[in-house]
Structure 1
Amino acid sequence: MADTLHQVGPDIPNPWDIPLETLDVSRAELFLHNRHGDYFRRLREEDPVHFCEKSQFGPFWSITRYEDIMAVDSNHRVFSSKRDIVIGDAPDDFDTPMFIAQDPPVHDVQRKAVQPAVAPTQLGDIEALIRQRVCTILDALPVGEEINWVEHVSKELTTQMLATLFDFPFEDRHLLPYWSDVTTTSETVGIEVDMKHREAELHKCLAYFMGLWKERAAQPRKFDFISLFAHDPKTKDMINNPMELLGNLMLLIVGGNDTTRNSISGGVVALNDFPEQYAKLKADPSLVPNMVSEIIRWQTPLAHMRRTVLEDVEFQGKQMRKGDKVVMWYVSGNRDGTVIENPDQFMIDRPNARRHLSFGFGIHRCMGNRVAEMQLRILWEEILARFEHIEVVGKPQRVLSNFVLGFENVPVIVHAR
Structure 2
Amino acid sequence: MPPIPTSPKTAAQYETELAALPVEALDVAQPGLFELGLAPRYLERLRREAPVHRCAQGLYGTYWSITRARDIEAVELDHETFSSEHAHGGITILSHPEDPQFLPSFLAMDPPRHTAQRQAVAPAFTPDRLAAMAPRLQAWAAEILDGLPIGETFDWVDRVSVELTARALALLLGFPEARCRELIRWSQAIVALPGSPGFPTLAEKMRVLQDCLDSFDAIWEQRLRAPEGEDLLSLLARCPRTRAMPRAEVQGNILLLIVAGNDTTRHSLSASVLAFDRFPGEWAKLRRQPALLTGLAPEILRWQTPVAHMRRTAMRDVTLGGQRIPKGGKVILWYLSANRDAALFAQADDFILDRANARRHFAFGAGIHRCLGARLADLQIRTLWQAVLDRFPRIEVVHPPVRTASTFMHGFAELRVRIAARHAA
TM band (smaller chain): over 0.9
Q: 2:184 — aligned with what?
A: 177
Counterpart CA distance in 1 for 2:289 and 2:127 is 27
Residue number in structure 2 paired with 1:12? 14
Q: CA deviation at 1:133?
A: 0.9
Q: Note the C-alpha offset of 1:217.
A: 2.2
Misfit runs of 4+, over 6 Å: none
Query: 1:48 aligns to what?
Result: 51
Per-residue CA distance 1:327-375 (angstroms, 9 max, x = gap): 0000001010011111011111111221111111010000100000000
- Residue 272 of structure 2 corresponds to which residue in structure 1? 267
The residue correspondences of 1:138-153 to structure 2 (distance < 5 A) are 138-153=145-160
Q: Within 5 Å, give how 1:339-378 maps onto structure 2.
A: 339-378=344-383
Give the fraction of aligned pairs with identical amino acids, expressed as a percent.
42
Pair 1:65 & 2:71 matched: no
Can you list the C-alpha shifts for 1:98-154, whole angstroms capped at 9, x where unaligned? 110110111111111111111222111011111111111111111111110000000
Residue 333 of structure 1: which of 335, 338, 342 is its match?
Answer: 338
What is the letter of the counterpart of residue 173 of structure 2?
F
Q: Which moved more, 1:375-384 or 1:345-354?
A: 345-354
1:90 aligns with 2:92: no
Deviations 1:170-215, CA, capped at 9 Å, x for gaps: 12111100000000103699x9852232222212211111211222
- TM-score normalized with structure 1 length: 0.94
Residue 409 of structure 1, CA deviation = 0.8
Amino acid at match of 2:306: P
Q: Distance in 1 between matches of 2:111 and 2:127?
A: 24
Secondary structure of the corresponding residue to residue 393 of structure 2: strand
8 Å Cα contact 1:206/1:246 also seen in 2: yes
Aligned to 1:110: 117
- Counterpart code for 1:159: A
2:65 alignment partner, SS class: strand
Counterpart in 2 of 1:208? Answer: 215
RMSD across aligned C-alpha pairs, in angstroms?
1.7
Alignment of 1:226-375 (within 5 A): 226-238=233-245, 241-375=246-380
- In structure 1, distance between residues paired with 2:19 and 2:126: 46
Structure 2 match to 1:395? 400
**Residue 380 in structure 1 maps to residue 385 in structure 2:** yes
Q: For residues 185-224 of structure 1, what are the structure 2 equivalents within 5 Å?
A: 185-186=192-193, 193-224=200-231
Please point out which of 27, 38, 61 is paired with 2:41: 38
Give the counterpart letter for 1:270 in structure 2: A
Match of 1:99 in 2: 106
Q: Distance in 1 between matches of 2:64 and 2:226?
A: 48
Local SS of the residue matching 2:14? coil
Mapped contact 2:279–2:351 kept (Cα < 8 A): yes
Matching residue of 1:5? none
SS of structure 1 residue aligned to 2:394: strand
Partner amino acid for 1:42?
R
1:161: Cα distance to partner?
A: 0.3
Which residue among 80, 83, 87 is the counterpart of 2:83? 80
The whole-number CA distance in structure 1 between the counterparts of 2:107 and 2:200 is 24
Distance 1:46 1:16 in 2: 13
The CA deviation at 1:17 is 2.0
2:415 is matched with which residue?
A: 410
How far residue 268 of structure 1 moved from its aligned partner, in angstroms, is 0.4
Q: How many residues align?
A: 407
State the AA in 2 paired with 1:99: F
In structure 2, do the counterparts of structure 1 residues 159 and 192 end up closer, same or farther at CA, with 3 Å as the change threshold? closer
> Where does the alignment leave 5 or more consecutive residues of structure 1 unmatched?
1-7
Summarize deviations over 1:216-244 as a string: whole Å, max 9, x none: 22225221011111111111123xx3322
Distance 1:192 1:227, change over 3 A: closer
Name the CA shift for 1:92/1:188 in 2 (closer, same or farther; >3 Å).
farther
Change (3 A) 1:315 1:193: farther
Normalising by structure 2, report the TM-score.
Answer: 0.93
- 1:90–1:188 Cα contact (<8 Å) kept: no
Q: Specify the alignment match of 1:4 in structure 2.
A: none
Answer yes or no: is the 8 Å Cα contact 1:300–1:405 preserved in 2.
yes
- SS of the equivalent of 1:62 reads strand
The Cα of 1:75 is off from its aligned counterpart by: 0.8
Larger deviation, residues 218-227 vs 267-276: 218-227
1:91 Cα deviation from its structure 2 partner: 6.2
Per the alignment, residue 23 of structure 1 pairs with 26
